[in-house]
Amino acid sequence: MDFAYTADDLAFREELRAWLDEHLPKFLAEWGAEEDSGAEGGEGAGRRGIARTQARRREWQRRLHEGRWAAINWPASWGGREATPTQNLIYSEEMARVRAPGIFNANGIWQIGPMIIRWGTPEQQERWLPGILDADEHWCQGFTEPEAGSDLANLRTTAVRDGDAYVVNGQKIWITTAHLARWGLFLLRTDPTAIERGAKHEGITAFVVDMETPGIECRPIKDIVGDEMFDEVFFTERACPPTADSAARARAGRWPWARSATSGSAPPGSPSPWLPTSRRWSRPPGR
Ligand SMILES: Cc1cc2nc3c(=O)[nH]c(=O)nc-3n(C[C@H](O)[C@H](O)[C@H](O)COP(=O)(O)OP(=O)(O)OC[C@H]3O[C@@H](n4cnc5c(N)ncnc54)[C@H](O)[C@@H]3O)c2cc1C
């Protein structure tokens, strides 16, 4: 492989530098040079710090999007630049050089959006991609469980079909900003027999979860500086009504797809495994 920069690469760097030179100082003057944290202490400081950080990141992402610098890997038709690997490297170098602010929807821009582009139906793309791009809707990614970290295929949170709905049971952990997210991409086990059959890579399905569904409980985990950026997310059977009038559509999840989520690139091949979930599993009164 020839590692020399092409003319396109050099032009990419020059254009990005010019954009940052023009827009970053103004942004920093308005929003401050650093992100806030919960280090001020006191009850709720972690949540306040994260809320301010997210507001700042939302605004920065919007400005990047206006300049077509938010989602460089997305197709041009979706506001991207179809950047090459070298251009990704240049992007990282330039952003690090100016210590650019974080963005609001890192999971959405870098992982979930590209997966929706690759695997989603046109309706799903229209529904979700604009909100990811312009920072209207925050997304979290729900993969890790207490017994399924590096060994992701060991995940045990179940989603069992019940009519048109799914009854979801289990726990996720370390889910970044789940309590702030409007939507979440969750990997759930739709074949609960797979692990005991010795086929744990099978029977896992990707769900787009409406995080405003009553019955999803997010418990923030406070970190060493007092921030509350990560959550445990609980789904409990008690929270699921017996029915069944959702629009959920079943399709087998595919493990190669899940691998694409963790690597940030989509594998070639199969059709969309996306399942929009019902808002029908609800928290009983008083919980
Ligand atoms: C900043 C941050 C943000 C995160 N955000 C999210 C999120 O938004 N959504 C989400 O789903 N998860 C998230 N995670 C969780 C993260 O993806 C998990 O921590 C990761 O999957 C590893 O799982 P674990 O922590 O249980 O470690 P473990 O799987 O217990 O691994 C612990 C150590 O053992 C090593 N190890 C494990 N198995 C083997 C093996 N077979 N052979 C050799 N070594 C091994 C690992 O490399 C590691 O060093 C986040 C984590 C961090 C740090």
CATH number at residue 22: 1.10.540
Q: Is residue 127 part of a domain?
A: no
**Containing domain of residue 174, as a range?**
139-276
Please tell me if the CB atom of residue 174 comes closer than 6 angstroms to any atom of ligand 1: yes
Segment 48-73, tens digit of pLDDT = 678 888 999 999 999 999 999 999 99
The reported pLDDT for the residue numbered 41 is: 62
Digit-coded pLDDT (tens) for 77-92:
999 999 999 999 999 9
Residue 143 pLDDT: 96
Same domain, 154 and 272: yes
At 256 the pLDDT is 42
Question: 158 and 83, same structural domain?
Answer: no
**Spacing, Cα 256 to ligand 1 middle (Å):** 19
At residue 283, the pLDDT reads 31
- Whether 23 is in a domain gets the answer yes
Q: Residue 61: CB partners within 8 Å, gap ≥ 6?
A: 70, 103, 104, 105, 109, 134, 135
Q: Which two tokens stand for residue 107?
A: 């999971």
Per the structure, how many domains does the chain have? 2
Spell out, as residue ranges, where the chain has pLDDT lower than 70.
36-48, 237-287
User: Within a domain: residue 255?
Assistant: yes
What CATH number corresponds to the domain at position 168?
A: 2.40.110.10
Quick one: pLDDT at residue 15? Answer: 98
**Judgement on whether residues 162 and 240 belong to the same structural domain of the protein:** yes
Could you tell me if 172 and 142 are in contact, meaning their C-beta atoms sit under 8 angstroms apart? yes
For ligand 1, whether the C-beta of 110 sits within 6 Å is no
Mutational test site, ligand 1, from 112, 138, 147, 150, max ligand atoms within 8 Å of CB = 150
* Residue 56 within a domain: yes
Please name the amino acid found at residue 1. Answer: M
Give the model's pLDDT for residue 46. 66
Q: Whose CA is nearest to atom 5 of ligand 1?
A: 176
pLDDT in the model for residue 35 = 79
Structure tokens at 105: 């929807």
Instruction: For residue 107, report the distance from its CA to the centre of ligand 1, in Å.
Output: 16
